[in-house]
Amino acid sequence: MDGRSTGEGRRDGRRLAAGNGRTGRPLGRFQGVAEHALGIDIGGSGIKGAPVDLTTGELTRERVRIPTPQPSRPHDVADVVRQLCEEFAWTGPVGITFPAVVLDGHTMSAANVDKHWIGTDARGLFAKTTGLPCEVVNDADAAGMAEVAHGAARGAGGVVLLLTFGTGIGSALFTNGQLVPNTEFGHIELRGKDAEKRASSAAKEEHDLSWHEWAGRVEEYLLEMEKLLSPELFVVGGGVSKKSEKFLPLMTKVRARVVPAAMRNNAGIVGAALAAPGPNGPMWREHLEEGTGPSKSA
Ligand code: BGC
């Protein structure tokens, strides 16, 4: 209903991976390109969706959340994606996030989801189940793209690293506004363990850590990332970012600026919608703010 033009879904994940496609064109006035897309954010416990105005990054309807089927097998999850499309009577392009490496629409890993996803043609499955043009991207990459387009990293130049703290740790690396897709920095080793097992917000719960204890672990992780990548800006996302005042001030050793994500819970949905297929690849090619990129710094 709200998808004003569906365009031809591009099926080339490498083009999608290539970055933000600064066009220099006025926002949302690119003829024939949909200004709205449905964004669906698949997480370990919930699958959330809403139509998004791509020019503003705002949800145009209240978001709907359906619990993730357990086990989270591909066909069961695809059925929930179909339900969400039906809920919004959607007929336009759909962007979908998934918490795994996504190459050319195929999910290639499954750290916190059912292992049947490894090697699945997720884009094909969702397109077949919904009958709509679909694109699939990594959840943290989508959240990062939303922050670059409309949130805390808008207009930021240089190296920016968005990290999402949830069940796992997701990462999205940008250089001058260009995404380097599928970085999996939640899985670097910290004290002999997968970093996300020590410093995700699930780890905080599991080990019953105080904010102070957890902030120490997150800081250690950020310092390690800083050593490896020297970013100018860290954007801290995930559900826990809405409580950023409880832990960001406790981290004093990181040189780079550390800011909370601005889109909060909606970053995944908005980023998913920005990844929906348009006539020239993902929608974000036409809807990124002019000036995102090398010439401007935050
Ligand atoms: C996965 C990533 C994902 C992150 C956040 C990690 O366990 O490997 O692909 O982005 O969790 O969901």
Q: What pTM was estimated for this model as a whole?
A: 0.87
The residues near 135 (Cβ < 8 Å, ≥ 6 apart) are 9, 10, 16, 93, 94, 95, 96, 105, 123, 275, 276, 277, 282
Does residue 163 share a domain with residue 116? Answer: no
Of 52, 24, 47, 49, the closest CA to residue 37 belongs to: 52
Residue 17 belongs to a domain with what CATH number?
3.30.420.40
> Cα(263)–Cα(146) distance, rounded to whole angstroms?
7
CA 168 to ligand 1: nearest atom: 11
| Ligand 1 pocket check for 184: Cβ under 6 Å | yes
**pLDDT above 80: residue 34:** no
Residue 120, in any domain of the structure: yes
The residues near 30 (Cβ < 8 Å, ≥ 6 apart) are 23, 286
Report the length, in residues, of the chain.
298
> Cα(143)–Cα(164) distance, rounded to whole angstroms?
8
Give the pLDDT band of residue 130 (cuts 50, 70, 90). very high
SS3 of residue 57 by DSSP: coil
Total domains, the chain: 2
SS3 of residue 39 by DSSP: strand
Does residue 276 share a domain with residue 181? Answer: no
115: its two tokens: 């292992």
- Among 45, 72, 109, residue to substitute to test ligand 1 (most atoms within 8 Å of Cβ): 109
Task: Estimate to the nearest angstrom the gap between the alpha carbon of 6 and the chain centroid.
Answer: 22
Give the pLDDT band of residue 284 (cuts 50, 70, 90). confident
**pLDDT above 90: residue 289:** no
CA 100 to ligand 1: nearest atom: 9
Mean pLDDT score of the chain:
87
Residue 38, in any domain of the structure: yes
**pLDDT above 50: residue 21:** no
Residue 37, in any domain of the structure: yes
- Among 167, 198, 240, 241, residue to substitute to test ligand 1 (most atoms within 8 Å of Cβ): 167
| Domain ranges, residue 195 | 152-262
Give the pLDDT band of residue 11 (cuts 50, 70, 90). very low
> Cα(243)–Cα(204) distance, rounded to whole angstroms?
13
Does residue 133 share a domain with residue 17? Answer: yes
CA-proximal residue: ligand 1, atom 12 (nearest) = 99
Task: Estimate to the nearest angstrom the gap between the alpha carbon of 90 and the chain centroid.
Answer: 21
Q: In this predicted model, what pLDDT tens digit does every residue of 189-212 receive, in sequence order?
A: 999 999 999 999 999 999 999 999
